[in-house]
Chain A
């Protein structure tokens, strides 16, 4: 059974700092997704990672995938208040019939 663990579940940080959110999954994966959700809003797709060593960057966010370690990271560089949100990773594979299996989410609060 495919399982996805995110950590930390809650992160409070100061503006200007760097930090990383981790997403571990239990079996081989074909696709790894990162989403952002603002309070009371729907989910916004950030990145889709498809292969080992994939790295994608958008602004202050960078996501990477290590399929051998079954680990993806979402790195935040020089955080700003506007990045405060809940971040979810999700994984799909043949084991899950390509349905998305979701992590619990990381609530990120960035203080000015």
Chain B
């Protein structure tokens, strides 16, 4: 199984600032995903990031607010821009490996916006 690390693990940020979250995988993967999870809630997919192409965003998420980079097959970043308290959440990256198509998750980044 893939081993995924995320940085930072948590942060407290001021309203109006931006935070970039890094996701590093120990093996090459094609598909990487960014999720948001509010406390006590299920997961919401923000975007899918495939290397060599633009990220695909889900309804309700836009590139200006959540720009994503995917420079190679082991690394991705998600930036949360112009933050507001509503962006306080846990942000998770995940990767899908080949058959049987398991998705593995990073440890998450707990973001608090004040």
- Give the contact stretch, choosing among A19-27, A40-48, A57-65, A69-77: A40-48
Q: In the assembled complex, which residues on chain B have CB atoms less than 8 Å from the CB atom of A90?
A: 43
> Which of B45, B48, B100, B107 sits near A42, CB closer than 8 Å?
B107
A103→B107 CA distance, assembly (Å): 20
The interface centre, meaning the residue of B33, B101, B102, B106 with most chain A CB atoms within 10 A of its CB, is: B101
Q: In the assembled complex, which residues on chain B have CB atoms less than 8 Å from the CB atom of A50?
A: 100-101
Classify the interface of chain A: helix, strand, loop or mixed.
strand
**B102 pairs with A102, CB closer than 8 A:** no
A-B Cβ contacts below 8 A, count: 46
- Kindly identify, within residues 87 to 114 of chain B, every residue whose CB is under 8 Å from any CB belonging to chain A: 92, 94, 100-108
> Which of A41, A42, A88 sits near B42, CB closer than 8 Å?
A88
A contacts with B, residue count (CB < 8 A): 20
> Which of B1, B33, B106, B108 sits near A45, CB closer than 8 Å?
B1
**A42 pairs with B103, CB closer than 8 A:** no
Q: Which 6 A-B pairs have the closest CB atoms?
A: A43-B105, A102-B42, A42-B105, A48-B100, A42-B107, A42-B108
